[in-house]
Structure 1
Amino acid sequence: MARLDVTETFNSIMFPGHMHTKDSLNYATNFKFQDTDTVIVTYPKSGTTWMQEIITLVLGKGDPTIAQTQPNWARAPWLEQYYCADVLKASTGPRIITTHLPYQLLEPALQHSKAKVIYIARNLKDVSVSYYHFHKMANFLPDPGTFSDFLNDFLKGAVHYGSWFDHVKGWTGHAKDIQNFLYITYEEMCQDLHGSVQKVSRFLQCPLTEDELILAQKHCSFNSMKENTMVNYTLIPQEIMDHSKGKFMRTGKVGDWKNTFTEEQSRLVDDMYSSQMTDSSLLFKWECPEKTL
């Protein structure tokens, strides 16, 4: 399925036509969740791949075999992408499902469900930079132009998958309406990976011994994932994702936005954040000491 230049619009939100169709999006919004499902929810470039890896390793008690032999899209498929139904039909055991959809599109499907939902959020300055670089290498996304152009579109929500503000506020604002909900931030995972893996294992009711926890942490570190072809997207053909234009996994750091933003752009985002998030109690770390995962 190519459709690299196709954009699907669904509920006024744009999606890449390469992996999304009207049928696949309708399938997602009418999905029948099982109580044993674990659902990873993120806005793009917010730690999706990382959480897929953490959950895989937690459920495997730290054993990296599945993480190193099965592509992440096969073990934790995106609900709204066209291939998901076939993957889930062939799956055995508890399902891991990934989605970038906003809350309002999945609310009806999640009602009365006991599925475990993990929402990962990341500060919007780092998200915007990471998403910009992803646009430059992903041939199924529009040419982003300059970073200034992209940032303006991003802040208006005029990008694929819609508004970061709406996505984050939508999911976290309805956390109380979801029976089993865990909120965690990319920054928290950066600063305390050990504690974050432990938090996920407790939420999934899959306790790990200290040795298993250390093993899981080792294999879901940024450096480990960067070298793992099952998660670094080097398996994707060049015409779809051009790795000569950048790396899918670039830095794994908090505060990398400072290498791209001008002072004026930083103030613009600060002002926009203040006005858009007045009704939210969420706090984000914009930077932290240099640290590799």
Structure 2
Amino acid sequence: MDTVEVFNGIRFPGFIHTQESLRAACSFLFQDKDILLVTFPKSGTTWMQQVLSLIFCQGHLWPIHHIPNWQRAPWLEQSNLVKMLGSLDPGQPRLLTSHLNAEALGPAVLRSKARVIYMARNPKDVLVSFYHFHKLANFLPDPNSFEDFVDEFLEGKGFFGSWFEHVKGWLGLKPDLNMLFVTYEELHQEPRTTLQKLSDFLGHPLKSEEEDFVLEHCSFSFMSQSSMVNYSLVPKEVMDTSRGRFLRKGVMEDWKKHFSPEQNEKFNAIYQAKMGDLGLHLPWTMD
């Protein structure tokens, strides 16, 4: 359960990743109609999986109520991919998910016309959510302390590597990919506008009543109660929900309840050094 796979210098949970599955993801043959969701962990992945599923379900809720989200939009790098691909609806575009960085997965995507949705989130909220997830997931080590977890995150030494390099790497490929960049904060603050942007990008525009349907079934209240989304189906040996909830809060700026002034100052300095030259307006504040 607590094994680790190191791939291209980055740590992955060995429980759900193998060297073979990671290599297979990097050489995956994308179809031009594929839709790939890419995120750094705890950036709204589950939320966006639900949104994408709803956009394409055409008002039919059976998949939403009966098929877990990880099966509707499987992870490319996980060891159960082949099984998951076999269960996808052949009449719909394949919805795929990945936490891999651009260095690893980018070459395979560049060989196709697949649509890529890259979702990002305020890294401080990512860090806090990931910290709590480490306590919940038995395939990840318990953090020694929040202070140590902050240092590990800023150094890019945690599981799945550096948040900074992940975001910058994928954004660097944006000119060469059919990519939409979207943020957790946009979806939270302007859900309908963001949904319209997504559906237009996917070539699947929605009517007003269809938008209402999607927004109702991707709300935090709905998802937190749905066993198809909230990971309550996962055995306790894998994810111990007595230690916390997978869908914990669904809010912005929870980091303010965790960071000390010194940690905030240190984070901001490193953020500015690594991200200050991006020239990209991001809908979050660092203070």
Q: What is the TM-score normalised by the length of structure 1?
A: 0.94
Counterpart code for 2:156: G
Residue type matched to 1:153 in 2? Answer: E
Residue identity over aligned pairs, in percent, reads 49
Aligned pairs for 1:13-162 within 5 A: 13-91=10-88, 92-93=90-91, 94-162=93-161
Of 238, 253, 277, the residue aligned with 1:279 is 277
Q: Does 1:193 align with 2:183?
A: no
1:59-106 Cα shifts (integer Å, max 9, x gaps): 113443211210011110000000012221343232100000000111
**SS in structure 1 of the partner of residue 140 of structure 2:** coil
CA distance in 1, matches of 2:263, 2:97: 32
Shift of 1:199: 1.2
**In structure 2, what residue type is equivalent to 1:56?**
S
Distance across 2 between alignment mates of 1:85 and 1:116:
21
Q: Deviations for 1:250-286, whole angstroms, at most 9, x for unmatched residues?
A: 1111111111111111111111100111331233344
* Alignment-mate amino acid for residue 271 of structure 1: A
Q: TM-score when scaled to structure 2?
A: 0.96
Q: Of 229, 246, 249, which residue of structure 2 is paired with 1:248?
A: 246
Give yes or no for contact 1:63–1:215 (8 Å, CA) kept in 2: no
Listed one character per residue, the Cα deviations across residues 94-132 of structure 1 (whole Å, up to 9, x for unaligned) are 210000000011122112311010000001100000000
What SS is found at the alignment partner of 1:104? helix
Pick which of 163-172 and 142-151 moved more: 142-151
SS of the residue aligned with 1:118? strand
Question: What SS does structure 1 have at the residue aligned with 2:111?
Answer: coil
**1:130-150 Cα distance to aligned partner (Å, 9 max, x none):** 000000010000111211111
Count of residue pairs brought into register by the alignment: 284
Asked if 2 retains the 8 angstrom alpha-carbon contact of 1:13 and 1:161, the reply is: yes
Residue 168, structure 1, aligned to residue 159, structure 2: no
Which amino acid is 1:73 matched to? Answer: W
Q: Which amino acid aligns with 1:168?
A: V
Change (3 A) 1:268 1:58: same
Which of 231, 235, 238 in structure 1 is aligned with 2:236?
238
Q: Distance in 2 between matches of 1:47 and 1:255?
A: 14
Spell out the pairing of 1:175-186 with structure 2 (5 A cutoff): 175-178=174-177, 180-186=178-184
Q: Who is 1:207 aligned against? A: 205
Distance in 2 separating the partners of 1:284 and 1:257: 17
Residue 132 of structure 1 aligns to which amino acid in structure 2?
A: Y
CA distance in 1 between partners of 2:100 and 2:51 (Å) = 21
5+ residue gaps, structure 2? none
Question: What CA RMSD, in Å, does the superposition of the two structures yield over aligned residues?
Answer: 1.3
Unaligned runs of 5+ in 1: 289-293
Deviation per residue, 1:201-230 (Å, 9 max, x gap):
111111111001101100001111111110
Greater alpha carbon shift after TM alignment, 259-268 vs 127-136: 259-268
Equivalent-residue separation in structure 1 for 2:272 and 2:243 (angstroms):
34
Q: CA deviation at 1:5?
A: 1.3
SS at match of 1:197: helix
Q: Is the 8 A contact 2:71 2:87 kept in 1?
A: no
Secondary structure of the 2:181 match is: strand
Alignment of 1:207-226 (within 5 A): 207-226=205-224
Q: CA deviation at 1:177?
A: 1.2
